[in-house]
Amino acid sequence: MSKRPNILLLFTDQQRYDTIGALGNPLLKTPVLDRLVERGVCFTNAYTPSPVCVPARYAMLTGQSPHKTGCVNNQSMPSGYTSLMEVLASCGYETLGIGKMHFTFDDPREMWGFQRRAFSEEVSGAPGDDFIASLKEAGYQHVHDPHGVRSEMYYIPQPSQLPAKLHNTTWVVDQSIKFLEERDRNRPFFLMTSFIKPHPPFEVPTPWNKLYRTHQMPLPKRPEGYEHLLTYHNHFQNRYKYRDQGTDANLLRTMRAYYYACISFVDYNIGRLLDYLSETGELENTLIIFTSDHGELLGDYNSFGKRCFLDSAARIPLIVCGPGVEPGLNSTPVSLLDVMPTCLEAAGVRWTNDLPGRSLLGMPEEDRTVYGQFSEGREGLYMIVNRRWKYIYSAPDNKELLFDRKNDPEETRNRAYNPLYREAAERMRSQLISYFQKEGYTKPLSGNSWREYPPLSIPEDPDALLLMQDPEWSLPVDLRDYYEPLV
């Protein structure tokens, strides 16, 4: 490319791999993402390096694996690692960040290489939240849960308390367009447009809340014997998210309807942003990457949330389109770790630091191995996956999972303890352990085996460990005398 391209990173939160109409979901209306699929290359075996927000984002924006940085959970991000934005800014790019970043540095307004940011996080009320300021300016200061009611309502579908024109999804694109209007046109831009949705609560403005109806939705995937596919973290999340005291089939289908509606509303607003780029003549010279930090179980295996390496939670959409990109589907296993090398190659940047990922530009169809990790030590969860096999080890319950991706693509049966699959299980286990040994990461290991810990369990009391997210700022002033916040 003679002219350095702009780079637009479109990022959603908690969006499953199977939520784009053009990629085989007949129920979902995603005309804008469908056009990106037609114009670009779609990686159908894309995985998160960590199935939870903070480490997934940190890995993507540093290009480094969770075990390397130590960022393996929703924890404080370690300082000292260079971000993609810092590299691009040093090479002449104008770096712009809009919406949810989930940076957990000591400074809540950390720029980390962004030259301009519009701040908005899923748990609103942090100092300097620009989205909350916009609501107050519009006369909506009475709305205490602008992203949906959490805690007990976390997985209860709900219409937004905001009109569509003031919703956060709309605001993220409004701010993206505003930043592009004000940018320095003598420099290429890197813009990360980052949406909170479809992260729960599944909350969408009217009339989008009626785009999908309960009776249209399928029930979640619950294969026979699915209980054997769950690990400690699944049971923990089901308790934590108020979802372990029985199921209601229509509620599960309504969840999916609202989850899909959140995605379609994001799709519509992405269309507004792409229309702006087209009208200003920038679209043809803009590399577009669309992806998400991780998926959502959404009732599959009777489980909810993420913190899991089953495909529903760990496999993500990943589309790349723009100058020089050959359209098509690519089944090579890839990861969010490949985003930074992709952006650097597009920008013509030579980066001397070793990056485990590879550029997605021109990536051939081939087998490849990618890795994942959530937490560590007694709570560690680890994954290795290639085209044929996926192996998972869960330290809290000393449990192995092996999936035959060719013959069981829906992940309905664990083969790890099946004697007919012993060789495959041993090979994948050995490859994952050898990988960590070569990386000098020995915390989960005892010699050439997994380190064993006393098993973790969920308390029997059904009210133990429940999620509470009611800080003082989220309560109406006239209730504070009657309600003592629990956190």
Considering only CA atoms, give the Rg of the chain. Answer: 22
Low-confidence ranges of the chain (pLDDT < 50): 1-2, 486-487
Note whether 267 and 290 are within 8 A (CB).
no
Give 152: exposed, middle or buried? Use CB within 10 Å, 0-12, 13-18, 19+.
middle
Global confidence as pTM:
0.96
Interstrand relation of 94-99 and 189-194 (parallel, antiparallel or unpaired): parallel
Quote the tokens at residue 90. Answer: 């040093």
- Could you tell me if residue 211 is inside a domain? yes
What's the length of the chain?
487
Rounded to whole angstroms, the Cα distance separating 333 from 282 reads 31
Take residue 431 and report the two structure tokens written for it: 């490859």
How far apart CA 148 and CA 126 sit, in angstroms, is 16
Cα distance between the two ends of the chain: 53
pLDDT of residue 42: 98
Residues 314/305, Cβ–Cβ less than 8 Å: no
Contact 157, 255 (CB under 8 A): yes
Residue type, 65: S
Do residues 304 and 238 lie in contact, with contact meaning Cβ atoms separated by under 8 Å?
yes
Sign, CA dihedral 350-353-354-358, equals negative
Q: Is residue 121 part of a domain?
A: yes
pLDDT of the residue at 476: 58
Q: What is the pLDDT of residue 475?
A: 60
Establish if 56 belongs to a structural domain. Answer: yes
Whichever domain contains 328, its CATH number is 3.40.720.10
Q: Where are the alpha helices (DSSP H) in 349-464?
A: 422-438
How distant, in Å, are the alpha carbons of 1, 278, 279, 286 from that of 282? 15, 6, 8, 6
Kindly report the three-state secondary structure assignment for every residue of 136-179: HHCCCCCCCCCCCCCHHHCCCCEECCCCHHHCHHHHHHHHHHHH
Give the pLDDT confidence score for residue 128 in this predicted structure.
84
∠ CA 308-309-313, nearest 5°, is: 65
Peptide bond just before 198 cis, omega within 30 deg? yes
The answer to the question of residue 108 being in a domain is yes
- pLDDT value at position 123? 79
Q: Is the dihedral of CA 278, 362, 183, 269 positive or negative?
A: positive
Name the amino acid, one letter, at 3: K
Phi, psi at 413, each rounded to 5°: -145, 135
Q: Is residue 345 part of a domain?
A: yes
Predicted pLDDT of residue 344: 97
pLDDT the model gives residue 1: 40
Is 291 contained in some domain? yes
Residue 42, domain member (yes or no): yes
- What's residue 486's pLDDT? 45
- Whether 292 maps to a domain, the answer reads yes
Q: Which domain holds residue 214?
A: 6-371
CB 366 within 8 A of CB 388: no
Name the burial class of residue 285, with classes exposed (0-12), middle (13-18) and buried (19+) by CB atoms within 10 angstroms of its CB: middle
Contact 317, 46 (CB under 8 A): yes
- The domain total for the chain is 1
As separate numbers, helices (DSSP H) first and strands (DSSP E) second, the chain gives 11, 19
Distance separating alpha carbons of residues 211 and 30, to the nearest angstrom: 12
